[in-house]
Structure formats: C-alpha cells, structure tokens
Amino acid sequence: MEIEFLKKIERQFNKSKINKLSLQNKVVIITGASSGIGEATAYAFAKQKCKLVLAARNLENLEKVKINCETLGAETITIKCDVSNEENCKSLITETIAKFSTIHVLINNAGISMRALFADVNMDVLKQLMEINFWGSVYCTKYALPYLLKEKGSVLAVNSVAGIKGLPGRTGYSASKYALNGFMDALRIENLKTGLHVGVICPGYTKSNIRNAALNKNAMAQAESPLDEDKLILPETVADYIVKMLEQRKAEMVLSIQGKTVFWLNKFFPRWLDKLIYSAIAKEKDSPFK
C-alpha cells in the first residue's frame, strides 16, 4: 500500500505542470563530472544547451565527457579540480568567471564513499570523506555564492539516503552527508529572501563507480561493488531529476522507492529501521559484519 502511494506521488511529479525555468544558455558548474551521476548530469544539461563547466580530478575522462557534451550542442570547458583542496575550488570559480563572466548553477556532486566498521577504520579515511563530501561542497559554494546571488541562481547538492539514515560500515560517509544536509538546510533558510535556490537531492543506491572506488579501512579502493549494480537506479534517471529540480526550483527530493521508504520509516519507526538496515548490510557480499 505504501509503495503504491509513493509511486503515485512520483507519477504526479513527472506530470507536474509547474512553471519551468529555462536553462538554455545558463552557466552550470558540475563537480565530479568525469563519471557516474556527474557525467550523466553533464549530458542532461548539454541537451538543455547550457554553458558547462566540468570539474573533476581525472582530466582525461573529463575531456571525453566534454566532447560528448559539445556534440549535444553545449559550449563546454573542463577544469581539473580536487574539491578537497580549497585553492582548487577557488580557481574553479575564478576560471569559470574568466570564461563566462557569471554563474547561474552550481551542482556539488563530487563525492567518495567508504566501507569498514568504525572500530577498524583508519581515521584518515573519515578525514578524507569529510574533506571531499562536505568541505568540497562548502568551498565551491563559498566562492561561487556572490555570483549565484547576483543571478538569483541555484546551488544543488547531490546527497544520499546515508544523509537521512546512518548506514553501518559507512560511518564517515554518513557523517559527511549529514553535515552536508545541515549546511544546505541552513544556507537555504539564510537565503529565503535573497532569491537563491538551494536544493538537495538524495538518489539512493545508483549504478556508478562510487562503490568500486569506496575506501576500505586502510584508505584503499575496495575495487569491487558489494551490490548488484544492474538492479540500481541509473545515473541518467538521477540527472533527469536534477534538471527538473532546477527547472522547478525544488528544495528537496528523495529518489527511488527504497530511498522514500527509508525516509518515512525513519520518521515513524526508527529503531525498527535500524534492525532492517543492519540485516540488509549483513547480507552484502563481504559484509563488514562477517
């Protein structure tokens, strides 16, 4: 019954006739644009004929994404950027302004995950998660903010269900995403009367490289996903919702039936949900509980 209700809400959203903001010719910065959700989002905005600034550490992959975006009709530049480095984030904004003179949209997408019990994990792992997932968004937002305010633009963070409910074996990831949620909430309220749109999207498990690149207890990439990636939400689906969020200036969105279920169960039955999540994680391939 609950699942049918959630599906109905999603269908209603898809059919929504809310006035849409045109994104054509808008200057859009996307961090973590070299793969996964970031890459798919780049293509989604390229179809809207935006002016794209693609940022990531892997410049080689970024250049491939740039070519595809230009094929779709979008003027595109790439900037090598490690969002955990404040100076890199400042340069990202400076180079964007040098090229396009302004910024309409900032999408804080760059992120990394982890998989290890807190009792076993090296503290450097947690620090790295916070530097990339939280501080990376803070740095980029801080330097882009004057231009976004001038344009009454949008800043959007790609968050996670792990920012709604703590996930065992992912303490650093959940902590960084909770922090990001708090930052974005406060930023939205601060700007209720400035015209700045502040949005957060929580996709749920998405088919991408994030689990392969997730850090183990020793800060090394685990290299293999514990999930059946073919059963997860597609990054292209997430990207389409990001476009809709910006067109309709939505504040929050939780995707997938799984994500919506976690959101509501956590409101009304949080301790029962604790047990469900523990059981689900314990059944994962090479679970940290084994």
Catalytic residue among 43, 143, 173, 205: 173
- At 251 the three-state DSSP class reads coil
Q: How far apart are CA 58 and CA 23, in angstroms?
A: 27
Nearest Cα to Cα of residue 28 among 14, 44, 17: 44
Contact 206, 232 (CB under 8 A): yes
- C-alpha–C-alpha distance, residues 6 and 256, integer Å: 9
Number of residues assigned to the chain:
290
Distance from C-alpha of 192 to C-alpha of 195, rounded to nearest angstrom? 7
- Residue 128 near residue 84, CB atoms below 8 Å: yes
Q: How far apart are CA 14 and CA 30, in angstroms?
A: 24
- Give the architecture-level CATH label for domain 24-282: 3-Layer(aba) Sandwich (3.40)
- Per-residue pLDDT of the chain in tens (290 residues, 90 and over written 9): 445 554 555 555 555 444 577 899 999 999 999 999 999 999 999 999 999 999 999 999 999 999 999 999 999 999 999 999 999 999 999 999 999 999 999 999 999 999 899 999 999 999 999 999 999 999 999 999 999 999 999 999 999 999 999 999 999 999 999 999 999 999 999 999 999 999 999 987 766 666 567 788 887 876 555 555 566 688 999 999 999 999 999 999 998 888 889 989 999 999 999 999 999 888 887 777 76
Determine the Cα–Cα distance for residues 6 and 199; give it in Å rounded to an integer.
Answer: 21
DSSP state letters, 261-273? HHHHHHHH-HHHH
Rounded Cα distance, 43 and 72, in Å: 8
Predicted model pTM: 0.88
Query: Position of tokens 């029962």?
Result: 272
Phi, psi values for residue 138, rounded to 5°: -65, -45
Query: Is-contact 107 33, C-beta < 8 A?
Result: no
254 vs 201: CA distance, rounded Å: 6
Distances in Å between the Cα of 25 and the Cα atoms of 53, 56, 95 are 12, 22, 18
What phi-psi label fits residue 256: left (phi over 0), alpha (psi between -120 and 50 degrees) or beta? left
Q: Give the span between the Cα atoms of 87 and 102, in whole angstroms.
A: 19
Residue 173 annotated among the catalytic residues of the structure? yes
The domain locations on the chain are 24-282
Handedness of CA 63, 36, 89, 187 (dihedral sign): positive
Q: CA 141 to CA 157: how far, in whole Å?
A: 10
